[in-house]
A and B are shown apart, each in its own frame.
Chain A
Amino acid sequence: MKIKTIATSAAVAAMLAGPALSQAVPESDDTIKIMTGDWTSIGLQGEMMSLILQTVGYNTELVVADDSGRYPGFENGDLHISMETWQTTQLQNLEKSVATGKVLDMGETGLRGVEDWWYPLYMKERCPGLPAWEALKDCAEVFATADTTPNGRYVGGPVSWGDHDEQMVAALDLPFDIVHPGTDAAMFAELKSAYDREAPIVLWVWQPHWVTSVYEGEYVQFPQFELACFEDPAWGPNPDATYDCGKPYGWIKKMAWAGGEEKWPCAYEIVRNYQMDNDTMAALLVEVDLNGRSSTEVATEWLMANDATWKEWASCAM
């Protein structure tokens, strides 16, 4: 993998060696540890940030951490920068962690995270009324398997992802059984299997993700999320229950270890400046996930093509 990178990056080295780098950077030779995780986009964005920071003179290292399990690492200073923190699942965790004073909210990336119940397009014929959520009530049996019948079968996320599907199914009175895989790979294995056979399936899909670029499908339209839905039973179709709405969607933020602000001020500024959008990211994810190229390669290519953009983010180092 690395060999390929070297071939491309060596060719470009001359091109990039333009402006003289600022004397002040790096402020510290200590390695900046950038978090990567078990989904592709954080790896890709982490790689990008790592390449930028290295190019301007910092030492960086990508380290793998768990989405929900990262916080002690950040509070401890074992991890320094994360390029993705999703409002959908990490909102409360991030707030709690920022409240300790040891972790910084580094602003939004510009990406919008979306996640909810999703079905392949061919299911629309078999369950007329989709994407409206009420349709699920009538055609639950279409989604049933022998072990769930008469209820439908919904493939949720791993238990540890901390969703509220159980509460939602109860609140909206959906005749569905929820199946939790232990890993996202298993979820998409089921999707692939069903899609190849045009078999019924409804599962949890998030964006940005390559699945939505490869398989045709759409999200079920649940009552749109508002914070009140989670907190106020009166809100939404079920007056007696919370969680009677779709999943939250929203920003994906960058976060960082507070102690790094003084150590690598310019690096932190670069992280704050970093911006991305969903379409660009989706295209890059297809390159990595489906065309089998390495994150390093794809990140390098994008940075080279968008030289001016990243150099503007890194102006403090130029």
Chain B
Amino acid sequence: MRAGPLQSLRRADEIPHPAPKKAHARMASIDTVPRPKKSRPWTSPPAIALVGFTLLAWAALLGPAWMRVIPEAITFPVAQVVGDAINWFARDAKIGGVAFQEMTRGLATLFDYVIDATVVVLAEGLFTGRGLNVTQSVPPLSWLAIGGALVIMGYRFGGRNLALICAVSAGFLVFFGLWENAMVTLASVLVSVILAILLGLALGIWSYRSARIENVTRGVMNVMQTVPIFSYLVPTLLLFGYGPSAALVATVIYALPPMVHNTVLALKSVPTEITECGRMIGCKPRQLLWQVQLPAALGKLAVGMNQSIMMTLNMVIIASMIGAGGLGFDVLSALRKLDIGSGLEAGMGIVALAIILDRLSQAAAHRAAHGTHLKAGQRPLWQLLIAWLIFSTGLALLLTPLQAWPDAWVVSTASFWNAAVTWINREMFDLLEGIRNFALLQVMRPFNDFLGNAPWTLIIGAVAALGYALGGARLALYTTGLALFIVLTGYWGPAMSSVYLITISVSVAIAIGYPIGFWLSSRPRAQEPANFVLDTMQTLPTLVYLLPAVMLFRIGDVSAVIAVILYAIAPAVRYAMIGMAQVPHARLEAAEIAGCTRWQTLIWVRLPAALPTLLIGVNQTIMMAFSMLIIAALVGTKDLGQEVLIALNRSLVGEGIIAGLCVACLALIADGLLKAAAARASSDKKRTAE
């Protein structure tokens, strides 16, 4: 669930806000709304949960051994069965006499064709001859043509500022010699994004129209968002073959959930009046959807589009591991030879692409949602673009540097970064080693040992008790069920290791991120640069900072935790800013009149008001951290992420899926508990306000 950088609200919907007024749907007068009963502390859920948990803890510590160590008899080797089933499905299953694999391979051919065509236009041109005899017969669109087109679109959609942003980003790609691979990446990203958006839109509309479908898709999407992509890579490869189309499919699966989620949300948020207006006008269902509801929902749909774009770009590295090429491959190969500077440059190339795509699509969506007209004398955009493409292509044929930026003119800062890393390594290693040893020996190891040795029944009991205290029997059942899945499938040990990594990383990310966010919230001027930094941190491939981390903190958990923190800190900062911004101004003024110091205001006014949002922020930080587990595994952890990685490398389909589902279970437990906590916090707030 690595998600939505370049845009401050990943799940804007989850920020608690007052329930929308439904003028005519809620006729119940105030009297029929259940009043909170007078609290009887000894029967309140938290009290029951506490008593229950204490009893269980006593039993777990003193009772029979099976309560402490999971007996083998209750674990089931489902991985093998699942693996066999998927293998059968991928190889032998037939639908109407046609092998399923043949259908997916057919699809793959189709996707390959589309990607190839896009690559030809954007990046490679056409060739004749083969092998050593290959010659280019038609060049691709020149950097001048594409870059200029981006700038023109930027100017039309967002004025001079956006044009400048596009020009700088495109210029970066050209001058640093990243253009051609950036275009290869752009080609596959474009195809994936379009596919993810269309598919997400379709699923979203379907879910919007039927509550039953919505329940199903919501469940599936939640799991899909939290299962690491590596765990379904092998089945994807089986079905779609090695190559760009498998990468495409994996990317689309990964980028789909936010689009579905936001489509449903956007359609639901269309004002009732607008829908009623469409119905009163006499729209047929299809007219209502396409001409009324979707246009009215466009603003919120754009949020989903943005997230899909960002998640697709997050996948660039992984996609290049299975044959998508492009900038991701540049990053990988630079890092493989430890050229961290070049890796950073290629990584920044991905950031530049992300910026272009994000800002252009946002501006275009905004324009479409609010409507704009051509000023006098302005030509339609498509005419301008075609004119430009013809003109610039002609120009590029005359002046070859305009077609392909000459290697000799390529700028590089790689050696500077490499020297910097070496310098830090030489001069500061001892200091960093001290920090590492302290963190590892005094904090991380003891905590890991504690989790590893704690009786499993105790931990499940804690999960159940928390669930009951925060959300009642239903939530308790849900979280316990998820935890038991991990027990029964035999991944309890690695799962605890994951919990340990996540807990440490998230604690640090919150401890650093929240204060920064609080600080930024009162300094509007610092926010824009801060957002840019946060965007960059989330779009820059993690590998780029993972390897320097390894050089300075060695292979092992410390490096893994640092990589996770760096990635997960962005949502922490963002939600702290949002939470603070939500504090009602009147309350701050009241606090000021009452003579509160800044510190008192923070503790007594700001934090309580922001609590629901801050809890959601913790939740998002945890989700981000979970999505990084798999990358952290690259530096050698012993957790679920590593299990997934091993399964991937050994092509163990079943193990990969089951370990991935265990990651999803952990994430969903955290998600369920924290959302319930946030809901409680915001309802408490309302009650005290009344």
A interface, CB within 8 angstroms of B: 1-6, 9-10, 12-13, 16-17, 33, 38, 40, 50-59, 61, 63-73, 76, 78-79, 145-147, 155, 158-161, 179-190, 192-193, 196-197, 199, 210, 289-290, 292, 300, 303-304
Contacts and interface: CB of A to CB of B under 8 A. Distances in A.
Given A10-B135, A197-B426, A78 B649 contact: no
8 contacts: A9-B133, A17-B133, A59-B130, A66-B651, A187-B555, A192-B551, A196-B422, A210-B337
Given A2-B124, A78-B241, A158 B425 contact: no
Contact of B132 (A4, A51, A67, A69): A51
Interface string B633-646: 11111000010011
Interface stretch (B26-34, B214-222, B437-445): B437-445
A55 B547 contact: no
Given A2-B180, A190-B554, A147 B337 contact: no
Contacts of B127: 6
Interface of B: 91, 124, 127, 129-136, 180-181, 234, 237-238, 241-243, 321-323, 334-339, 342, 404, 407, 422, 425-426, 429, 433, 436-437, 440-441, 445, 543, 546-548, 550-552, 554-556, 559, 633-637, 642, 645-646, 648-651
B180 A9 contact: no
A40 B243 contact: no
Contacts of A72: 238, 651
Contacts of B637: 182
Contacts of B131: 50-56
Query: For A50, A51, A61, A185, which residue has the most chain B Cβ atoms within 10 angstroms?
Result: A185
A186 B633 contact: no
Contacts of A181: 550, 555, 634-636
A182 B645 CA distance: 8
A158 B131 CA distance: 35
Nearest to B336: A185
Contacts of A180: 555, 636
A186 B547 contact: yes
Contact of B550 (A16, A33, A186, A292): A186
Contacts of A12: 132
Query: For B181, B555, B651, which residue has the most chain A Cβ atoms within 10 angstroms?
Result: B555
B132 A179 contact: no
A290 B445 contact: no
Contact of B429 (A56, A68, A193, A289): A193
B646 A3 contact: no
A9 B646 contact: no
A13 B635 contact: no
A135 B127 CA distance: 59
Given A146-B440, A193-B551, 14 more contacts: A1-B180, A1-B181, A3-B180, A4-B407, A12-B132, A78-B241, A160-B646, A160-B650, A181-B634, A181-B636, A185-B547, A186-B636, A190-B550, A192-B338
A100 B502 CA distance: 43
A68 B649 CA distance: 7
B103 to A, nearest CB: 16
B157 to A, nearest CB: 31
A250 B136 CA distance: 42
A290 B338 CA distance: 9
A3 B133 contact: no
Contact of A155 (B407, B433, B436, B555): B555
Contacts of A155: 555
Given A40-B336, A61-B243, A196-B422, A186 B650 contact: no
Given A33-B242, A147-B437, A54 B130 contact: yes
A90 B645 CA distance: 19
A192 B554 CA distance: 11
B286 to A, nearest CB: 42
| Across the A-B interface, the 7 shortest Cβ-Cβ residue pairs | A54-B131, A55-B131, A160-B649, A69-B651, A182-B634, A63-B242, A146-B437
Contacts of B552: 193
Contacts of A59: 130
Given A4-B407, A146-B440, A196-B426, A179 B556 contact: yes
Contacts of A1: 180-181
A125 to B, nearest CB: 20
Nearest to B133: A13
Contacts of A289: 336-337
A303 B132 CA distance: 9
A134 to B, nearest CB: 26
B389 to A, nearest CB: 20
B541 to A, nearest CB: 12
A226 to B, nearest CB: 27
A292 B337 contact: yes
Contacts of A186: 546-547, 550, 555, 559, 634-636
Given A147-B441, A182-B634, A188 B132 contact: no
A275 to B, nearest CB: 19
A196 B421 CA distance: 11
B650 A6 contact: no
Contact of B242 (A5, A79, A147, A290): A79
Query: For A6, A51, A67, A179, which residue has the most chain B Cβ atoms within 10 angstroms?
Result: A6
A78 B338 CA distance: 32
A192 B429 CA distance: 13
Contacts of A145: 433, 437, 554
Query: For B241, B422, B642, B649, which residue has the most chain A Cβ atoms within 10 angstroms?
Result: B649
Contacts of A13: 129, 132-135
A181 B433 CA distance: 18
Contacts of B134: 5-6, 9-10, 13, 54
A292 B559 CA distance: 27
Contacts of A3: 180, 404
Contacts of B555: 155, 179-181, 186-187, 190
A120 B394 CA distance: 56
Given A69-B651, A72-B651, A303-B132, A182 B322 contact: no
Contacts of A51: 131-132
A6 B634 contact: no
A290 B337 contact: yes
B363 to A, nearest CB: 32
A3 to B, nearest CB: 5
A79 B633 CA distance: 28
